[in-house]
């Protein structure tokens, strides 16, 4: 086994890993989880608004 055979095997392994990750990422089973994760930054704004409202209520009491 020479260096070129090793390079060929490593290329095939990396290609298999890449295809596996792509299939995992675009799997329909994971769509809801990824959609939820994509909306997390927007949910922080709602939490911040609620916190601001709660703080204002405490200040007025």
Write out pLDDT tens, residues 8-52.
999 999 999 999 999 999 988 888 888 888 887 777 766 666 666
pTM metric for this prediction: 0.56
pLDDT computed for residue 7 by the predictor: 96
pLDDT computed for residue 61 by the predictor: 61
pLDDT computed for residue 37 by the predictor: 85
pLDDT over 70 at 2, yes or no? yes
pLDDT computed for residue 42 by the predictor: 77
- Tokens matching residue 5: 């055979």
């Amino acid at each position: 086994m020479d260096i070129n055979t090793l390079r060929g095997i490593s290329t095939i392994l990396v290609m298999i890993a890449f295809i596996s990750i792509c299939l995992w990422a675009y799997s329909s089973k994971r769509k809801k989880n990824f959609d939820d994760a994509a909306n997390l930054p927007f949910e922080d704004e709602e939490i911040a608004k609620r916190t601001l409202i709660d703080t204002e209520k405490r200040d007025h009491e």
